[in-house]
Amino acid sequence: MKSIVILISGRGSNMEALLAAGLPARIAAVIGNRPDAKGLATAAAQDVATAVVDHKAYGTRAEFETALAAEIDRHRPDLVVLAGFMRVLGDDFVRRYQGRMMNIHPSLLPAFPGLHTHRRALEAGVRIHGCTVHFVTPSLDNGPIIIQAAVPVRADDDEKSLAARVLAQEHVIYPQAVRWFVEGRLFLGADGRVLLDGAGIPEGALLVPAPEQSGATLRALAESG
């Protein structure tokens, strides 16, 4: 059975979704870079080993990442899962876990990398927003895409309502991507392409809004027009 280490910085709802998914994998540890990360308590309450590698305790990013890698490697994970881990990671660290580290980002990448994705999506006036799970490569919020979920942006959305709609989909696609990996079906090819069951384009790797959601959006648009 493959084993996983999950890295978090805060709330940890994606981590919770992974813990609840009944994955055929051992969750070896949840590691936070902030001692007050709420998700650490949630993991501990479910008898999952937790650790803190506090970035503030290190003088440089390289020192922090050396300590973080040592803590991760102690658990010998097959996969490192970034679940709301809000530190930019250096090239050496990323290369160490190349092909076995995933991230989830709250936008349809390559649109809106970085922070405040929901606010920026609303400001840009996009009609479709969503979330992306990708293998991690040295550039920020970039890297070969594994799975995405799209949600409609509604006429009356604010940052909070849009974030909630996207988060619900994050909790669907992250367990799916991790499940494919721990089942030994998902790989990052040498050419940087994502392979699921040996095929170039992962089957079912885009979730789209349920028809009733789209219908509600169209009705809202018609009524507001």
Q: Annotated catalytic sites, by residue?
A: 105
The dihedrals phi and psi of 136, each to the nearest 5 degrees, come to -90, 130
Residue from 34, 141, 196, 217 in contact with ligand GAR (CB under 6 A): 141
Contact criterion met (CB below 8 Å) for 146 and 176? no
Please tell me whether the peptide bond between 110 and the residue prior to it is cis, using omega within 30 degrees of 0.
yes
- Scanning 11-19, 63-71, 73-81, 207-215 for contacts with ligand GAR by CB under 6 A, the matching segment is 11-19
The residues with which 151 forms a beta bridge, in sequence order, are: 129
User: 3-state DSSP helix/strand/coil percent for the chain, to nearest 5?
Assistant: 40, 25, 40
- Scanning 50-58, 101-109, 119-127, 185-193 for contacts with ligand GAR by CB under 6 A, the matching segment is 101-109
As measured in angstroms, the least distance from the Cβ of 118 to ligand GAR is 9
Q: Is residue 96 packed enough to be buried (19+ CB in 10 Å), middle (13-18) or exposed (0-12)?
A: middle
84 touches ligand GAR (CB under 6 A) = yes
111 touches ligand GAR (CB under 6 A) = no
13 touches ligand GAR (CB under 6 A) = yes
Show contacts with ligand GAR in window 28-47 (CB under 6 A).
Answer: 39
Residue from 67, 167, 195, 220 in contact with ligand GAR (CB under 6 A): 167
For residue 87, give every residue at least 6 positions away whose Cβ sits within 8 Å of its Cβ, in sequence order, or none.
9, 33, 55, 64
12 touches ligand GAR (CB under 6 A) = yes
The residues with which 145 forms a beta bridge, in sequence order, are: 134
Residues that bind ligand GAR (CB under 6 A): 8, 10-14, 39, 83-84, 104-106, 141, 167, 170
